[in-house]
Amino acid sequence: MQKKTTTSTGTPSSILDNILVSETESLIQNFSPKEALDFLLGTLREREKKIILKRFGLLDGKPKTLQKIGREEGVTRERVRQIVNNALKKMSQKAKTENFRATRQLIIESIKNNAGLITEDKLISIVLSASEENEANKNIVRLLLEIEEELEVMEKHPELLPSWSLKGTPKELVLPTIDVLKEILEKEHQLTDHNQVVASLKNHPFYEKNKSVLNPDFIRACMETGHKIIEVEENKWGLKTWREVQPRSVRDVILLEMRAYGKPMHFVEIAKKVNESKFARKATVKTVHNELIRDPNIVLIGRGIYALKEWGYEEGTVSDIIKRLLKENGPMREKEIIEKVLEKRQVKKNTVTFNLRNNPAFQKNSNGKYQLKC
């Protein structure tokens, strides 16, 4: 658990931040889900305890509905609901005692360190960092969230992941902020660094009205909470609807892996990366090669070597590229032509020279430069 502490923007934290995070890590190490549960259940009657265990799935990790519990206990669904609510109130009061202070502090500080807003999954992962992260333990943490009076559950909404906030956190700004963040990412339409997202948000009219709240940490928390926003790589964000984020085919994975690598590759190497990708699409070398040939975004630039057009590479043979250079620039010296062609093709210099000297479309003028034959 002992890691170098950084802020969400990747910059070193202040001494105070380091102390706070260190305290939280100590609370995590000392947290026992079973001990916390046993302590809370100690205030309940046997029937209340039995129903709470079933309702929250605290033993087997499988919560039961009010109706199913009612059938098993021989009471109405409404009666089960009343028992659950009364039991939660009792546990909430028990949680306020000094013996439970460290557990409450762990939950509250974990959310506070996340700008007062956090997804349920992330919070559970933090709290159980030093414990077994099984379904029963996850449900114990969910129970702790239910009884903590300092917390508020975020409303269910298609744009939100299940999330919690500290009381006083400006919940009303979360959805509007997510909408603006989606707008920014849609405009960029590529994986975007967190700092760039923040910079773009600062240029949006929405920011000026709410800048007292919209600090980088709160912005990140909103991004994490957004159902359609995702951090694909560290500090790189996109939308889940993008094929680059959730590839649907071998061709999508090819483009994703080539962009991540950032330079031309042989088709065998590309096939290997496709099959090893976290978005793995099992494909033969032949299948990958066929996709490379068909994709209009990809160019063959050497013997079996492919590159993306967006990197500045062009389609066509070496002679085609020479023709385009001479058409765009006029007469050029041989050395200059070779340099320009090698920027767009991975071939030997002799290959360029051969095409230049043996293609009747090119001729040398009186200044020793090559030009297109009239």
1 found inside a domain: no
pLDDT number for residue 21: 64
pLDDT number for residue 280: 63
In terms of Cβ atoms closer than 10 Å to its own Cβ (0-12, 13-18, 19+), residue 182 is: middle
Domain boundary among 239, 265, 297: 239
- Mark whether 30 and 128 lie in a shared domain: yes
3-state helix, strand, coil in the chain (%, to 5): 55, 10, 35
| Mean pLDDT value of segment 273-298 | 87
Residues 51-78 have pLDDT tens digits of 999 999 998 999 999 999 999 999 999 9
Task: State whether residue 60 is helix, strand or coil.
Answer: coil
> Residue 19 pLDDT more than 60?
no
Residue 146 to residue 162: CA distance in whole angstroms: 13
- Mark whether 322 and 306 lie in a shared domain: no
Name the pairing type of β-strands 163-166 and 229-233.
unpaired
> CA dist 357 to 262, 362, 366, Å?
33, 7, 15
Residues 230-279 have pLDDT tens digits of 988 788 899 988 877 777 788 888 988 898 888 999 999 999 999 888 77
Domain boundary among 280, 311, 342: 311
Domain of residue 190, residue span = 171-239
pLDDT number for residue 20: 52
pLDDT number for residue 10: 42
Which backbone phi and psi does 352 adopt, to 5 degrees? Answer: -65, -45
> Residue 16 pLDDT more than 70?
no
Angle at 323 between CA 320 and CA 327, to 5 degrees: 140
> Residue 131 pLDDT more than 70?
yes
- Mark whether 136 and 204 lie in a shared domain: no
Return the minimum-mean-pLDDT range out of 20-34, 148-162, 208-222, 297-311. 20-34
- Mark whether 21 and 146 lie in a shared domain: yes
**Which DSSP state fits 14?**
P
Q: pLDDT band for 285, please (50, 70, 90 cuts).
A: very high
Number of domains in the chain: 4
**Cβ–Cβ < 8 Å for 186, 200:** no
Mean pLDDT of the chain: 89
| Mean pLDDT value of segment 73-101 | 96
> CA dist 271 to 37, 258, 259, 268, Å?
50, 10, 14, 5
Percent of the chain with pLDDT over 90: 66
Q: How far is CA 75 from the centre of its chain?
A: 46
Give the max Cα distance, the chain.
105
- Mark whether 232 and 258 lie in a shared domain: no
> Residue 5 pLDDT more than 70?
no
- Mark whether 125 and 195 lie in a shared domain: no
Q: pLDDT band for 315, please (50, 70, 90 cuts).
A: confident
Residues 201-238 have pLDDT tens digits of 999 999 999 999 999 999 999 999 999 999 887 888 99
More confident residue, 346 or 170: 170
pLDDT number for residue 123: 96
Highest mean pLDDT among 35-44, 189-198, 293-302: 35-44
Domain boundary among 239, 262, 286: 239
Structure token pair of residue 280:
């793995």
7 found inside a domain: no
pLDDT number for residue 292: 94
6 found inside a domain: no
